[in-house]
Structure 1
Amino acid sequence: MKVIQDPRRKKDLRKLLQKLGLQDVSLVNWHLLDLALTHPSISPKDNYEQLEFVGDAVIRLSCAELLLETYPDLPVGDFAAIRSILVSDRFLAEIAEQYGLEMYLLASGGVRNDKWGKPSRLADCFEAVLGALYESTKDMSLIRPWLDPILQEKAIQVHADPARENYKDALQEWTQGKYKILPIYKVRQSESFVKENERFIAEVWLQDKLLGTGKGGTKKASQQAAAKQAYDSIMANELIKN
């Protein structure tokens, strides 16, 4: 087994594992964990890409096991809908951000300065960390104890949301059922955005009526934000009527 030559690097990685809540790190393969936090811009060969591939399967299996244990009577379609959100780059990047994963990631200055690529980068290295922990033991013993509570909290939130956080589909289903027509989205780039997640502004229209507006770092995200505002407003009005 390869070892980490720089004792400072191993000390930093140990701090990360402590953040995750792992007390017994005797089974951790430190070389794999180091690779999991090494961007391809540092080494075209020795980087996190292969571990990310493994980690993608690990997060999907973790979510599947957790959902089956938490909601044993839920239809498979609902399992798939909830899991798609739990394994999304957006949510995985949020977890990575929560643990400050980027401060442990070895990457070139150009990569670090790429703010638009940050969510995808964080999601990738988070999956790679899961891959490294799994490959250390070939089981979930270094993963599920700290990851389950995070996934469960999000699963409960998504399960309680009738739109499953896909407000575009939910709004489309409502407009088709009510009026037999689809909503129309108009997206423009903000001329004075300050935050990355406000780069685009979307409006969603139904015929001549503006249903909602939203901002996002991508066109798709801004459309989802607009659809959410519209859907929430519609559901609130429906509740009042009933």
Structure 2
Amino acid sequence: MRPSLFFARTKLLMYPRRQQELIRLIIQLGLPGDTQLDWSLLDIALTHPTVGTPNYEQLEFIGDSVVRLAASEFLWETYPDKSVGDFSAIRKVLVSDRILAQLADSYGFDRYLTLAASAVGDPSGRVSRLADAFEAVLAALYLTTHNLKLIRPWLDPHFQKLATEILQDPARQNYKDALQEWTQAHYKALPEYRVREDAVKIDRFQRFIAEVWFRDRHLGTGTGQSKKAAEQAAAKAAYTQLMEQARG
């Protein structure tokens, strides 16, 4: 059995400096600094597997379900007239690694994440690393209370902003899906992505260059810190151009 959560909540970490770091993060999330937490779980949630065990992998597994539950409750309460299909489409974006990494980055998770030097020097893994840590933190908060009361107060505003943007422009958060739907609807075929790494680029956010092609026609180019990000940027350029042409 797991150790008593009451005991874990009332016992601070052995390292005062780490304890203060985690308290600062909690305050950044909009929670009171004296919030009763399982601090040991929160510490593990911000420990990368390269450090050893325990690490955030098991908590990330739980957090994947927690963020989906939080998004589902939010959508059900906020958009009661939307269909299940709309819920699924919006939630897919809200819980994507790209969005979760952006949220983690906005709270400066990099400053609190413990990881080996080898991982620090690997910018290509940063998005998945931040997304995993974000889910693990959600799991730590959830397992402390076994509900979403420490999560939804600060996460819902982010969901609200993103959901509004998605409803205003369904392609806004996932241009690859939008482009694919367009090419399939008109030509029953899929676009092709050609990605290369620019080894001389100093800006890590432009490390990869992607081109999207369709029926031997170059539709768009994009850059990003990962292959997926570059492909999204290329798809956005292509989709935007196609929609402008369609409007005449």
Query: Is the shorter-chain TM-score for this pair beyond 0.5, marking a shared fold?
Result: yes
Instruction: Name the structure 1 match of 2:201.
Output: 193
SS at match of 1:59: helix
RMSD: 2.1
For residues 129 and 77 of structure 1, do their structure 2 counterparts lie closer, same or farther at Cα, with a shift above 3 Å needed? same
| Higher alpha-carbon deviation: 62-71 or 198-207 | 198-207
For residues 122 and 173 of structure 1, do their structure 2 counterparts lie closer, same or farther at Cα, with a shift above 3 Å needed? closer
Instruction: List runs of 5+ in structure 1 lacking aligned partners.
Output: none
Instruction: Name the structure 1 match of 2:168.
Output: 160
Matched-pair identity in %: 53
Instruction: Name the structure 1 match of 2:123.
Output: 115
2:26–2:33 CA contact under 8 A, matched in 1: no
For residues 205 and 147 of structure 1, do their structure 2 counterparts lie closer, same or farther at Cα, with a shift above 3 Å needed? same
2:222–2:230 CA contact under 8 A, matched in 1: yes
1:20–1:99 CA contact under 8 A, matched in 2: yes
SS at match of 1:62: helix
2:24–2:33 CA contact under 8 A, matched in 1: no
2:185 is equivalent to residue 177 of structure 1? yes
Q: 1:233 is matched by which residue type in structure 2?
A: Q
SS at match of 1:224: helix
Instruction: Name the structure 2 match of 1:216.
Output: 224
Deviation, structure 1 residue 100: 0.9
Instruction: Name the structure 1 match of 2:83.
Output: 75
Task: Tell me how far apart the structure 2 counterparts of residues 41 and 176 of structure 1 sit (CA, whole Å).
Answer: 42
CA displacement 1:120-139 (0-9 Å, x = unmatched): 11111111111111111111
Deviation, structure 1 residue 48: 1.8
Instruction: List runs of 5+ in structure 2 lacking aligned partners.
Output: 1-6
Instruction: Name the structure 1 match of 2:4.
Output: none
TM-score, normalised by the number of residues in structure 2: 0.87
Deviation, structure 1 residue 152: 1.3
Given candidates 30, 41, 60, the residue that maps to 2:39 is: 30
For residues 236 and 141 of structure 1, do their structure 2 counterparts lie closer, same or farther at Cα, with a shift above 3 Å needed? same
Instruction: Name the structure 2 match of 1:131.
Output: 139
Task: Tell me how far apart the structure 1 counterparts of residues 118 and 189 of structure 2 sit (CA, whole Å).
Answer: 46
1:204–1:212 CA contact under 8 A, matched in 2: yes
Task: Tell me how far apart the structure 2 counterparts of residues 226 and 212 of structure 1 sit (CA, whole Å).
Answer: 5
| Higher alpha-carbon deviation: 188-197 or 70-79 | 188-197
Instruction: Name the structure 1 match of 2:237.
Output: 229
Task: Tell me how far apart the structure 2 counterparts of residues 106 and 176 of structure 1 sit (CA, whole Å).
Answer: 44
